[in-house]
Chain A
Amino acid sequence: MKNTISKKIFKYYELYLLFIPVAIFYIIFSYGPMFGLVIAFKNFNFQSGIFGSPWVGMKHFIEVFSNSDFLNSLVNTLLISLYRLIAGFPAPIILAILLNELRSNKFKKFVQTVSYMPHFISWVIIGGMVMNLLSPNRGPVNMLIKALGGEAIFFMNEPGFFKGILVITSIWKETGWGAIIFLAAIAGIDPSYNEAAIIDGANRFKLIWHVTLPSIRNVIVIMLILNMGNILNAGFEQVFVLINPAVSTAGEIIDYYVYRQGLVRFGNYSYAAAVGLFKSVVCLILVLITDKVSKLIDENGGIM
Chain B
Amino acid sequence: MSLKKNNGEKAFDFINIIFMLIVMISTLYPFLYILIVSISPIEDVMKEGFILPSRIDFSSYKFAFATGAIQRAYGNTIFVVVVGTSLNILFTLLGGYVLSKKKLPGVKVMNLFVIITMLFNGGLIPFYIVVRSLNLVNTIWSLIIPVLINTYNLIIMRSFIQSIPESLEESAQIDGCSYTRMLFNIIAPLSMPVLATLTLFYAVGHWNAFFNAIIFINRKALWPLQVVVREIFANNIEAINLEDMPPPSETMKMATVIICTVPILVVYPFLQKYFVKGVMLGAVKG
Contacts and interface: CB of A to CB of B under 8 A. Distances in A.
Interface of A: 5, 8-9, 12, 14-16, 18-19, 21-23, 25-26, 28-37, 39, 44, 46, 50, 95, 98-99, 101-103, 107, 111, 113-118, 120-125, 127-129, 131-133, 137-138, 140, 143, 172, 176-177, 180-181, 184, 195, 198, 203-205, 219, 222, 226, 236-237, 240-241, 255, 258-259, 262-263, 269, 272-273, 275-277, 279-281, 283-284, 287-288, 303
Contact of B27 (A107, A172, A180): A172
A276 B122 contact: yes
Contacts of A240: 211
A181 B286 CA distance: 11
A25 to B, nearest CB: 5
A143 B49 contact: yes
Interface in B119-151: 119-130, 132, 134, 145-146, 148-149
A283 B123 CA distance: 11
Interface residues of B, number: 90
B229 A98 contact: no
A113 B23 CA distance: 11
A20 B254 CA distance: 46
Q: Which 5 A-B pairs have the closest CB atoms?
A: A276-B123, A33-B122, A36-B126, A122-B208, A33-B126
B130 A28 contact: yes
B189 interface: no
A233 B146 CA distance: 20
Interface in B1-18: 1, 3, 8-9, 12-13, 16-17
> Which residue of A37, A127, A177 has the most chain B CB atoms within 10 A of its CB atom?
A37
Given A29-B130, A117-B27, 8 more contacts: A5-B105, A19-B98, A22-B98, A34-B121, A121-B261, A143-B48, A204-B12, A263-B215
Nearest to B4: A203
Nearest to B230: A124
A18 B180 contact: yes
12 contacts: A18-B98, A22-B149, A102-B16, A125-B226, A132-B37, A137-B46, A143-B51, A222-B286, A226-B286, A258-B123, A273-B123, A280-B121
Given A124-B229, A138-B46, A203-B8, A101 B124 contact: no
SS class, residues of chain A in contact with chain B: helix
A277 B123 contact: yes
A15 B123 contact: no
